[in-house]
Structure 1
Amino acid sequence: MADQQIPPEELGTGQTVENVSPTDLNVQPYEPPPEDPSGSGAVPPPPMSGLPIRMIIIAGLGLLILVGIVLGIMAFLRGGSGENGGEEIALTYWGLWESKDVMQTVISDYERQHPNVHIVYEQHSPIQYRERLQAAIQRKEGPDIFRFHNTWVPMLTSDLAAVPNSVISTDQASKLFPSGVVQDLTKDDQLVGIPYGIDMLMLYYNVAMFESAGVSPPKTWEEFSTIADQLTIKNEVGQIMTAGAAMGTADNVEHFSDILGLIMFQNGVTFSNLSSPAANQALEFYSLFAMPPNNIWDANQDNSIVAFASGQVAMVFAPSWQVDIIKSINPDLNFATATVPQLAGATPVGWGTYWVEGVSSQSTHKDEAFEFVKYLSEKETMSKLYAEASKLESRSFGEPYARIDLHNQLASSEYLAPIAEQAPYMHSWYMASRTQDNGINDKIISYLKDAVNAVNQGSSSTGAWETALQGIQQVLVEYNVESK
């Protein structure tokens, strides 16, 4: 027994470990650990117990949780400042002239840069657009961003949010856009809209007729009158067979109100005082072109754009979008564009009529909406929109650039060079045709049409203008526009 180890299971009944002697258990004597071979005498560290390992695991998990919290806070802050991440934001954008395919090219670029922002673009019909827009905004069901005409500011006063100076101030805008644009879109020292395109009245002329007559586009109204007389062809009874220019009437001259407004501005009319003799003189000058026996146009002619496309008139006035209308009527017509005539020796004046982007006063995401509108006005975005629109079979070009620093590209355009030249002296007022607003423009144009027709029928221009002015003043009061 002394030399044999007894396993616990072989202990007999009544025998316990306590009453077994060490010799019975064959316990080996203690031997110290071997000495360090290096001779340093260092004692090896004891093996690590389970407690420190658990502590390290718990500490690591805590660190990971802390990092997650910090990253979550940073993502929240980025989302609140409009950067990537954060709250998902959907912005509705109502447009008019550009297709969804064209707009989506720049919208997709923006959404890639701002993953939390989604832009929903809707192309609307211009028919009753202004009324539908305002009704939707008043019901708080309208778009966050919408397109409106530059002359609609008085009608949309309560519907337009002011552009924050942190987005674009009026001082910054004056360096980016023509001064006339800044003036049109400024209310209470802040912008209420930002354009990515502009348009202006231009002179369209039939190249073959001009070459045949050996004349160049007129620079002054005196030259215009001379060329129009020279190119007018009448039969033996005085009927116009080929008109020199579409001027002098209202019902069959597209954009007659824009032409009349241009002449008024050039003649020194200040629209804060419409009763000045200069306004009456402008009406008389315009109407003279349709007064026999020396008339170069009359009420028997076709619509001026149709007549020009058909080769029945040598000159018309129109904004740039009529280029594609004319081409669709007669793809073979050889025509060109030029700047509008000016009064000799006077400061030049051009006529602007264009559409801009605004943000609804009812939008719950104004900051994000303005950031997108600002993006549309950036140089690269404008260039891309222009290029994408130009790819369409129905378009000869995109919307003419609003930015001054892109006008050098318009200067080399086949049809848009006059806009680049005239933009520095563009003006505008509530006589803009084809806005279909059923509001300030259309109502004033109705009174102007009555005045032109009255003069055509033999009334004095003074009396016709006085009658028209009474109606115009009522419209201005209706829309809170100051005028004497």
Structure 2
Amino acid sequence: MNPDGTNNPQTPADPGPTRDDLTPSNIYYQQDPQQMVSTPEPLPTPKEVVSPPVVSLAEPEPVLEEAVLPKRSFPVKKILIIILAVLAVLGVALLLTRFTSKKTGTVSKETTITWWGLWDEEQVVKPLIDEYQAQNPKVKVVYVRNSSKDYRERLTNALAKGTGPDIFRIHATWLPMFVKEVSPVPESVMSPADMTANYYPSLAFFSLKDSFAGVPMVYDGLQMFVNEDIFEKAGATPPKTWFELRDTAKTLTKVENGIITQAGVGLGEVSNVDHWQDIVGLMLLQNRVDLNNLADTKAEDVFKFWAMFSKNYGVWDKSLPSSTAYFASGKLAIYFGPSWRALNIEELNPKLKFKAVALPQLPKASPTDPDVAYASYWIESVWERSPNKDVAWNFVKFISSRESLEKLYQNASQVRGMGSAYPYVDMAGKLVDQPILGPLVADAPNAKMWYLVSRTFDGTTGINSQISKYFEDGINSI
């Protein structure tokens, strides 16, 4: 996939404030940590219907600068209507879904199963398919690599017509849209208790009443990347908190004649900041926002803080190219994106020296309080109405095993330079020294997930697109 946007910088009509025009930042007032209480929310169990998680971490209450940004209304009611409607549909669908756990059984007749994938090239998965077919000579597996364009709509239509694939890949946040079409993971593949123990906690987001909606073959989430040359030249170190990030970004930004020639960080705009949804989602969760109550002042603080990077701190603006393209050009110090963006960046600029580092956090009452990261990944689901459901699950069990995932990682590394992170907790050690995936899996145990995510290609009527649109309109109104 190519990065979004490649337009060249244009001179803005009003370049806005330069770094010298900015007042000393007091984005948050510090509080005595002894007065703060840490109340992290327990993870939901697989038997619960998972609604958007509420994260509670101890940190100072954010108080933003007064009279800096115009006061406008954020479309909270519209967003809440979407969320409540989705949850209502999910609740009804869960009651209607048959939560059976059939055993996968032995294949006793000639069977052909179709597997719809997205990102994996055929040469990555074919050796594993060949291995499975050698072990199960009566089974033929047909892999179809789909384009991301209109994928969710095409999959929805195929399933509705009764012509859908036996196995298909969906984003973990798509459960409300597919809950009546997915077959719960059978006990013979993996029990709910084992899935909870084996995979990262964000797995709970696609749990069903008695099981899960699918099995992950990969793990991914938001990461922070830094340009090593820019940091080394300035004698700077990667920021560990949002306050440090703000100050570091201002220091590393270069402005000539009112035009940014080197940006400190790609934040503050939605038009040219790739993956802004994930970044804002991370900020909301870290700031202990109740995602069922976006009228909370904590949510407003997040939106204002986001906007200040462009409107007040002068480290980014609308005239710049997409954050991915600008980082690849070597002119952006700090960039946020998922792990797979590293491949895009290396392709655009093989000589760029960059690395992934831990995500910035808000201050904590205690060093032992957990960090908060943001997950976004895909799962393999089996069609509930597939005539070959048992065989399909048998193949998913094989292809998602630890042994198979290691082979897939090696195949992907040979084809495109890097594989995907393993979803199994006990496989994190295999990636600890990998410069991109090491920091990702280090953050994974503390990662949460929500519907505000980027590049799921769910179409204009999809849950991610609808929620993103309302957040975009709201942020732009600030």
Q: Normalising to structure 2: TM-score of the pair?
A: 0.76
Aligned to 1:208: 229
Partner of 2:321: 302
Q: Which residue of 2 aligns with 1:101?
A: 123
Do structure 1's residue 388 and structure 2's residue 415 form an aligned pair? no
User: Does the residue aligned with 2:230 lie in a helix, a strand or coil?
Assistant: helix
- Aligned position for 1:322: 341
Matched, 1:366 2:385: no
1:435-479 C-alpha deviation (Å, 9 max, x unpaired): 110100011111111122222xxxxxxxxxxxxxxxxxxxxxxxx
Contact 2:168 2:383 in 1 (8 A): yes
Distance 1:266 1:230 in 2: 24
Q: Deviation digits for residues 369-393 of structure 1, max 9, x if unmatched? A: 112112222110000000001001x
Report the Cα distance in structure 2 between the residues aligned to 1:101 and 1:278, rounded to whole angstroms.
48
Q: 2:144 aligns with which of 112, 115, 122?
A: 122
1:132 aligns with 2:154: yes
Change (3 A) 1:242 1:286: same
1:159 to 150, 158, 181: 181
1:85–1:152 distance in 2 versus 1, CA, 3 Å: closer
Q: Give the structure 1 partner of residue 351 of structure 2.
A: 332
Distance 1:94 1:85 in 2: 21
Structure 2 distance, partners of 1:379, 1:330, is: 33
Show structure 1 runs of 5+ residues with no match.
1-79, 456-484
Matches of 1:270 and 1:113, distance apart in 2: 49
- Structure 1 residues 449, 141: CA separation in 2 closer, same or farther (over 3 Å shift)? same
CA separation of 1:170 and 1:214: change in aligned 2, threshold 3 A? same
Instruction: Write the distance in 1 (CA, Å) between the matches of 2:272 and 2:214.
Output: 33
**Distance across 1 between alignment mates of 2:475 and 2:291:** 19
Change (3 A) 1:82 1:249: closer
Deviation at 1:239, TM superposition (A): 2.0
Corresponding residue SS for 2:148: coil
Q: Which runs of 5+ in 2 are unaligned?
A: 1-101
Structure 2 matches for 1:422-461, cutoff 5 A? 422-438=443-459, 439-455=462-478
**RMSD of aligned residue pairs (Cα, Å):** 1.5
- Equivalent residue letter for 2:212: L
Structure 1 position 403 matched with structure 2 position 424: yes
Query: 1:266-277 to 2 correspondence within 5 Å?
Result: 266-277=286-297
> Which residue of structure 1 aligns with residue 251 of structure 2?
230
The one-letter code matched in structure 2 to 1:202 is Q
1:275 offset after TM fit, Å? 2.6
1:101-140 per-position Cα deviation (integer Å, ceiling 9, x unaligned): 2111111111111122211110010100111111111111
Deviation, 1:324, is 1.0
* Structure 1 residue identity aligned to 2:322: N
CA distance in 2, matches of 1:170, 1:185: 12
Distance across 2 between alignment mates of 1:85 and 1:433: 39
Percent identity of paired positions between Structure 1 and Structure 2? 37
State the alpha-carbon separation in 1 of the partners of residues 239 and 192 from structure 2: 36
Name the aligned partner's letter for residue 267 of structure 1: N
Q: After TM superposition, give the deviation of residue 82 of structure 1 in Å.
A: 6.2
Deviation at 1:398, TM superposition (A): 0.9
Q: What amino acid maps onto 1:226 in structure 2?
A: D
Task: Give how far 1:238 is off.
Answer: 2.6
Contact 2:103–2:188 under 8 Å retained in 1: no
Report the secondary structure of 2:310's partner residue: coil
Once the 2 structures are TM-superposed, how far is the Cα of residue 421 of structure 1 from its aligned partner?
0.6
Separation (CA, whole Å) in 1 of partners of 2:241 and 2:107: 58
Alignment of 1:221-260 (within 5 A): 221-235=242-256, 237-260=257-280
Q: Is the 8 A contact 2:205 2:449 kept in 1?
A: yes
1:196 aligns with 2:217: yes
Question: What is the deviation of 1:165?
Answer: 2.5
- 8 Å Cα contact 1:327-1:333 kept in structure 2: yes
Distance 2:198 2:125 in 1: 22
Q: CA deviation at 1:270?
A: 2.7
Inter-partner Cα distance in structure 2 for 1:302 and 1:453: 18
How far off its partner does 1:338 sit? 0.7
Among 174, 187, 190, the alignment partner of 1:168 is 190
Please report how far the alpha carbon of residue 81 of structure 1 lies from its aligned counterpart in structure 2 after TM superposition.
8.0
Aligned partners of 1:85 and 1:373: how far apart in 2? 14
Query: What is the alpha-carbon distance in structure 1 between the residues aligned to residue 179 and residue 103 of structure 2?
Result: 28
Q: Which has the larger radius of gyration?
A: 1
Amino acid at match of 2:246: S
Encode CA deviations 1:44-69: one digit per residue, 9 max, x unaligned.
xxxxxxxxxxxxxxxxxxxxxxxxxx
**Residues in 2 aligned to 1:167 and 1:239: alpha-carbon distance in whole angstroms:** 57
Find the aligned partners of 2:160 and 2:328 in 1 and give their Cα distance. Answer: 43
Give the Cα–Cα distance (whole angstroms) in 2 for the partners of residues 101 and 107 of structure 1: 10
Q: Cα deviations across residues 27-82 of structure 1 (Å, max 9, x unaligned)?
A: xxxxxxxxxxxxxxxxxxxxxxxxxxxxxxxxxxxxxxxxxxxxxxxxxxxxx986
Distance of 2:151 and 2:224 partners within structure 1 = 29
Task: Measure the CA separation in 1 of the matches of 2:108 and 2:190.
Answer: 25
| Cα contact 1:220–1:343 (8 A) shared by 2 | yes
Give TM-score, length-normalised by structure 1: 0.75
Which among 277, 282, 301 is matched to residue 262 of structure 1? 282
Map 1:349-360 to 2 at 5 A.
Answer: 349-360=372-383
Displacement, 1:247? 0.3
